[in-house]
Amino acid sequence: MTLVISPTPSEKVGIEDIAGALKTCLDILSNISANEDLEGQWDMLQAKLDIERTLLLQWSDRVKLLQDVHDDCLDDLRTHNRIFELLHGAVCLLTDKHQMRWMYQVFSFEEEEVSPDTTYLPSSSILSTPRMEHFNNEFLRLNLRAMQPRQGLCPLAAPHLRVATLVVTFEKFIEHIQQLVSSLYRITGGANCLECATEMAKEDVKRCNSMRDMRLVRNAAEGVRDTISQSARDFIVQLAQERVLKTLWFPGMEERKMNLREAHPDTFLWSLRAPQMDEDWDDLAEWLVSGSDIYWVCGKAGTGKSTLLKYLFNNPDTKRYLEVWGDNEPVSLGSFFFWSQGLFEQRVRDGMARAMLYHILSEIPRLMPVLVPTLWYHAKEAGDFEQDGSLPLPMIPDVRLAFEKLEEPGVLNKKFCFFIDGLDEYGGSESRAVDFIQRLSRSDKIKVIASSRPHPTFLELLGDYPKMSLHELTGGDILQYVQDKVDAHPYMRVLRDVNETRTLVLIEMLADRAEGVFLWGVLAIKAFLKGLDAFESLPDLEDRVRAIPKDLPGLYRHMLNLVEPRHREGAAKMLRMCHRSKVSRMRDGGSGRVWAVGLAALDGKGMEFDNFEHHSENTLRARHRQCLTLENRLASRCGGLLEVIRYEPDEEDSCFCGRPETHPTRYRDILIDSSIEFVHRSAFEWFDKLGWTTVPWVELRDQDFQEDAALASMAWHQSRISHDLGASLGTTDTSLSYCMEKIHEASKFTPKFAKRMLLEIKQLVADTRRNRGENWRFTFCCLEGENSEHLEILYFGVAMGMANFVRYYMRQHGEGRSLRDLELEHGMNWWRVAADRSLVVKFLEGHIEAIQNLPPQREMMHYLAQIGCPVPRSQLVKHLTDGEMAASMYMAVIEDMPH
């Protein structure tokens, strides 16, 4: 930048001279270093100085110094000159190296005077960078020039290093700059102008990069720049509140409730009306208005308890009644729906407690220091968790303390009603679940509606509370549902014309056989409609209804027997995959599930899990069409036991549809994002209890089919589709992680699957990296020649810990050679490939979930030693159990690790 000699204060000055002087001050204040003796306090000193830099830049914006039309205060000649005198004096001081050294122990060096071995603490900016960049851009646009100091002072054209050496004197220097800033604000805006700049302060503080920086600003401004300090304090509280809520939240917190179908029109209307004289249940509306504690919705499996609670939760009349209880103040409604087939948090008391705390603290954030003091401290003040933003979850004693606090009078200043569904799906002791909601409802500000099956524990502990037995009350609703469904069929009009009375009796007979179990009615209607489709006579239809078993297990068997034989093989594969996925999820607490988009892709290839051909049309329209076809096939070919749950993801990382910028007109197609679930928990339990050999026709003719391998293939298709549709890396990563998990668990493969699966994973990872703009190539095996692909697959399998896969691959493609033969042939050690996970991590870079879920190498090390590949004893001790080590005499063990 061109520099000029500044005029003296006695000469006529213009706006450009004020701007030039301010520019010089800012440049020098932005370029002060410190020696290493100040290391422990330099961050705080820099924060204090940067606050003043920011205020100087705010002042420039307030008076519109670099705008075409300036603030009126700059038109006043006396004010104009006083501003210049202040800034001119500051430039003279800042460029006088003798004064700076004598007054503030700030030394000035020309660059050639600095020893290359000397290390200084650099200048840094917390707040001022955005405003400084804007100031510099405008300065250049206006072709202004920075002020050059008078002759004899440090020339700005020569590179200088200014170094602070003493804390006490540098504090005095900062005080001098504070006086300069305060004087500028007084001259142009009055005595209180500096502390009135609230909006600018908020804007600048909000730009802090981290909670640490915000705390620095708060502490640095304390007692000096109260507006900035208060803004920082407010934002720290706001960010801490967000961090606490983010920590308590978990994926799937609302999933179960959201995925439940809405109640059939005109059903459950009775639930918010007074009971009839012949009905034995407690008035729910009256309880909502005036009751307290707990209301228990009890019902047999499949009676619609969850659907009723969702209906009540969303019903405006519920809120209206609760407002009467709340003295005409809004009452906050919260919920938790237990789900035994869901994520770990969806079926444990800890998940319920987190959901309750999340809801209460969302409504009353000021309670965070009271209810979760440790978590609040970590969120607000502790720096240990700045790196990844994660905070430790509250411990069990902390949670217990939180709910004990809720019982105390005066803690809550508003009322809450919680809807807790499925106590019988809680994964622990039923009595502990009841104890929790009883404690929760002890506060006079909280009431709870809970539902469960009528298990003995619940009958004993909840029987004395207001309640209803749902299966005794839904007969009219089931009749309404049956009536609506059968009346929609054209053939019913014909039957009514033939004999309306007998037709109505037939409908009533079908509804009565449900015995209050809504699920029975839903499935039985499907069987009944098949008779209407076949134009059966009334006597035949009556026989059809009588043939439907009254119990749910019998009904499930009956529904499967109605599936056409030609569809049973494909349907059996789908049922087995969904069952296997559920078992794994419940056992491991993982998030893997059967997504419609993946199963539809596999179904489109005839359920051949070793078919990796890419779909010819990778568009949202094509995927939607595939998923719609799958939905209809499940309805017609799986006996109604599987259904598509249209799903609104909690996060973008759960969406297969692509980001808005990739598909702006079709974002979040809930059919593409849907999952496949058993129609009811009892259906899954029936499959799980009986086993495949006793379930009708679910034994397969395809002897090569294996559920885990099929799920791996499905997950690969999901990952491939999410990548091709431009979905987030998180979505691709989740499916890829599940794919590799299932390969590891699979016990059987096909030769084609073994040949192609890992290579397809590698290609997908490569495409993902290239999509991020990386010119990426990767190899596990550096050996050349015709066996390179063969070795690449083995390197991949061993490094990933996929022992079953490697075992199968060698049987199918080993050509008579063993892994030990390959070791000797190529001068390598398989145990090193297994032990060194750095290569895998490098390969999967960016796929965080896939890296975190890599299986341990215990099984692989054991397998290598068993087949004669030497493994160091230290590695075996590290990975194997004592019992497995006891058998080490039969394994290839290296006593001393080779170097």
DSSP secondary structure letters along 774-787 = ------S----STT
Retrieve residue 172's tokens: 């005095």
Reported as half-sphere exposure (CB side, CA atoms, 13 A), residue 2 has a value of 5
What's the order of all strands across the beta sheet hosting 32-34? 32-34, 160-164, 106-110
Q: How far apart are CA 756 and CA 720, in angstroms?
A: 14
For 13, phi and psi rounded to 5 degrees? -120, 155
Structural contact between residues 548 and 676, judged by C-beta atoms closer than 8 angstroms: no
**Which stretches within 126-166 are classed as H helix?**
129-141
Question: 696 Cβ partners below 8 Å, 6+ apart?
Answer: 557, 560, 561
Q: Which amino acid is residue 3, in one-letter code?
A: L
Sheet of 416-421, strands arranged across: 332-337, 416-421, 446-452, 293-298, 467-469
Distance linking the first and last C-alpha atoms of the chain: 60
**Exposure string for 499-525, b = 16+ CB within 10 A, e = fewer:** eeeebeebbeebbebbbbbbbbbbbbb
**How far is it, in rounded angstroms, from Cα 162 to Cα 110?**
9
Element (H, E) at 594: none
Q: In sequence order, what are the residues at sequence separation of 6 or more whose Cβ sits closer than 8 angstroms to the Cβ of residue 13? A: 7, 80, 81, 84
pTM here?
0.82
Q: How many CB atoms lie within 10 A of CB 293?
A: 16
Chain centroid, CA 755 distance in Å: 35
Model pLDDT, residue 3: 35
**Residue ranges in 95-128 assigned as alpha helix (H):** 97-104
**Dihedral of alpha carbons 529, 531, 536, 538, sign:** negative
Residue 882 DSSP code: H
What is the rounded distance in angstroms from the CA atom of residue 339 to the CA atom of residue 645?
14
Beta bridge partners of 467: 296
Residue partners of 313: CB distance under 8 A and separation at least 6: 257, 333, 335, 419
Structure tokens of 390? 């994660």
Place of tokens 């590698």: 762
Give phi and psi for 241, each to the nearest 5.
Answer: -60, -45
Amino acid code (one letter) for 644: V
Cβ pair 148, 156 in contact under 8 A: yes
Cβ neighbours of residue 790 under 8 Å, at least 6 residues apart? Answer: 813
pLDDT at 383: 64
Residues in Cβ contact with 238 at an 8 Å cutoff, skipping those fewer than 6 apart = none
Q: Residue written as tokens 């729910």? A: 284
Query: In the numeric block, which tokens belong to residue 814?
Result: 């080993």
The DSSP letter of residue 142 is T
The string of DSSP codes covering 793-854 is HHHHHHHHT-HHHHHHHHHHHSTT--HHHHHHHHT--HHHHHH-THHHHHHTTT-HHHHHTP
CA–CA distance from 291 to each of 190, 495, 604, 788 (Å)?
60, 49, 55, 74
Q: What is the DSSP string of 631-669?
A: HHHHHHHSTT-EEEE----SSGGG-SS--TTTSTTS---
* CB-count exposure of residue 391 (10 Å: 0-12, 13-18, 19+): buried
pLDDT at 170: 94
Taking alpha carbons only, the member of 282, 406, 270 closest to residue 334 is 406
Which of 23, 416, 467 shows the shortest CA–CA distance to 275? 467
- How many other CB atoms are found less than 10 A from the CB of residue 102? 11
The candidate with the shortest Cα–Cα distance to 346, out of 585, 647, 595, 676, is: 585
- Joined tokens for residue 364: 């009353």
Residue found under tokens 């050496």: 165
Q: Per-block average pLDDT, block size 10, for the chain (899 residues)?
A: 42 82 93 90 94 93 89 85 92 90 88 64 89 93 82 53 91 94 85 63 84 91 90 92 92 87 94 90 95 91 95 96 89 93 86 95 96 92 62 87 90 94 91 93 94 95 95 94 93 91 94 94 93 93 94 92 89 91 78 84 87 76 90 90 78 61 58 89 86 66 86 90 80 84 85 84 84 70 64 86 88 84 86 84 78 81 87 80 64 56
Q: Which amino acid is at 295?
A: Y
What's CA 438's distance to the chain center, in Å?
A: 31
Domains of the chain listed by start with CATH number: 4-196 (1.20.120), 255-364+412-472 (3.40.50.300), 482-548 (no CATH), 566-746 (no CATH), 774-899 (no CATH)
CA atoms within 13 A on the CB side of 546: 6
Kindly provide the b/e burial profile for residues 734-747, where b requires at least 16 CB atoms within 10 angstroms of the residue's own CB.
Answer: bbbbbbbbbbbbbe
Q: CA–CA separation, 338 vs 421, rounded Å?
A: 6
